[in-house]
């Protein structure tokens, strides 16, 4: 069975953010991840991690105005300075928190924008990010988001994210593969994992449809998790789903997958 990390941006949300770390430990998770930690001082997060004896394994680069629907800055040609300032902030947090993977979201292509220019800026920004992270002992991961939930997201498929990775010169980057987003885009999940496991730096899960916990939809998680083990994946599997009821009420899926 893979190692599971609770995504505390989506789980235990009845609790204040820092209290979710201890709740994840008590629920049996071996680590946590989150989307954006920047509303909290890194020292306060470290204290909560130490108290729970849990590592944080992933967070995102600043994503712009997420409350207004922005999902990353890396492809936005008019916001390169903001992306690079956010990269410095993310590295500062990651180094204090001991996080070893940062997710660089590509962003949503604005109406009328030139896709070729956006791709050039995306590759330049992510190449810089990957090189800076490598110097700090951190891995850049690149996550596709399905374009049904996030219309006009610039990298909606694993194939497109992998193509960008291949175009990044001398840069160490890995795919962040969320099985929910893959299922939404019609991926053959078994094939994507089998063909690309050496390029995958982080895996996340939620069921489809609904984005709830495994076992609530149609994704064959028991077989997929067994495949992930058999392929020798050594990373974490982030549980980034919307609980159908409460987080604790839905955690029976873990024992059901064994």
Positions marked catalytic: 143, 240
Q: Rg of the chain over CA atoms, in angstroms? A: 17
Separation CA 87–CA 99 (nearest Å): 14
Distance of CA 55 to CAs 39, 59, 62, Å? 19, 12, 20
Separation CA 235–CA 20 (nearest Å): 22
Half-sphere exposure of 195 (CA within 13 A, CB side): 9
**Alpha helices, H only, the chain:** 19-26, 42-52, 80-97, 115-135, 158-167, 179-184, 189-196, 221-230, 252-256
């Amino acid at each position: 069975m893979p190692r599971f990390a609770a995504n505390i941006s989506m789980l235990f949300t009845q609790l204040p953010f820092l209290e979710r770390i201890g709740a994840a430990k008590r629920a049996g998770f071996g680590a946590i991840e989150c989307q954006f930690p920047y509303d909290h001082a890194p020292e306060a997060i470290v204290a909560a991690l130490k108290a729970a004896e849990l590592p944080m394994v992933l967070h995102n680069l600043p994503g712009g105005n997420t409350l207004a629907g922005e999902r990353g800055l890396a492809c936005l040609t008019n916001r390169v300075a903001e992306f690079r300032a956010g990269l410095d902030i993310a590295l500062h947090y990651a180094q204090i928190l001991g996080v070893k993977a940062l997710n660089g979201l590509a962003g949503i292509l604005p109406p009328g924008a030139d896709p070729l220019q956006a791709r050039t800026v995306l590759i330049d920004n992510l190449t810089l990010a990957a090189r800076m992270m490598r110097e700090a002992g951190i891995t850049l991961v690149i996550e596709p988001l399905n374009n049904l939930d996030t219309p006009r997201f610039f990298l909606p498929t694993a194939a497109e994210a992998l193509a960008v990775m291949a175009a990044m010169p001398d840069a160490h980057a890995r795919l962040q593969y969320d099985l929910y987003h893959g299922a939404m885009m019609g991926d053959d999940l078994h094939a994507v994992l089998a063909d690309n496991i050496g390029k995958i730096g982080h895996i996340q899960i939620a069921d489809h449809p609904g984005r709830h916990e495994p076992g609530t939809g149609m994704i064959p998680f028991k077989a997929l998790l067994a495949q992930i083990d058999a392929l020798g994946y050594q990373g974490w599997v982030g549980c980034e789903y919307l609980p159908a009821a409460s987080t604790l009420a839905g955690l029976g899926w873990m024992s059901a997958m064994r």
